[in-house]
Structure 1
């Protein structure tokens, strides 16, 4: 598995305006990688090197009823362990990463953050960031 560790370091959600909103509400999610550095994890078989990926997952509602973010760190181990230096050098030089690596990281972060966003949305009485399945009754002709 390419991700061996996941830690949330900060959660913030601010509700703006107390009135009710009518009409459709859009929720925009913006995952961002803010930093990458060499990291290691201790396992029963010894130390393992990986890449610490610092992220910020921003949540914005339109109309602007709330705004928030979740920050954290994951320990990413690429499928080819010899690519660690290549990934970090590309990040240090250009603040970029390969699309495959970015997709793996963002997919993992989204999978971990989404349930937390559901709980926060429920507690703050905000619309969910994903549609919830609903049962509809249709009239028979």
Structure 2
């Protein structure tokens, strides 16, 4: 697993409407990387360098009944350790992340953050931001 450490620094969910309208509700998930820098983690075998990534994960409902956001940091260790400089240089020069790294980061963040956002949505009586599997009966 390329993510060695994970820390949430801010969680917010706001219900902006007192009634939930009928019909279809669109939900937009927006993961965003705010900053990347060299980071390190201490392990029993010594220090390991990696890429520290500061992120914000936003959930927006349409119609605008609520919004949510989670901020945090994670330590990413690429499969090839020599790629750390390449990743950081691309960020410093162009504020871009290669698609493979971005996919790994977003998948990890979504896996870690979604259960917490589902609990908050349940407590605030909001629709979930991801579909929940449902059992349907077939009529013959």
Bin for the TM-score computed over the shorter chain = over 0.9
User: Does the residue aligned with 1:136 lie in a helix, a strand or coil?
Assistant: coil
Residue 115 of structure 1: aligned partner: 115
- 1 CA distance for matches of 2:70 and 2:134? 28
Residue 100 of structure 2: aligned partner: 100
Residue 126 of structure 1: aligned partner: 126
- 1 CA distance for matches of 2:28 and 2:136? 27
Residue 136 of structure 1: aligned partner: 136
Mark the runs of 5 or more structure 2 residues left unpaired by the alignment. Answer: none
- 2 CA distance for matches of 1:20 and 1:48? 48
User: Does the residue aligned with 1:129 lie in a helix, a strand or coil?
Assistant: coil
- 1 CA distance for matches of 2:84 and 2:137? 54
User: Does the residue aligned with 2:137 lie in a helix, a strand or coil?
Assistant: coil
Residue 89 of structure 1: aligned partner: 89
* Maintained 8 Å contact 2:20/2:65: no
TM-score of the aligned structures, taking structure 2 as reference length: 0.96
Aligned residues: 140
- 1 CA distance for matches of 2:51 and 2:11? 22
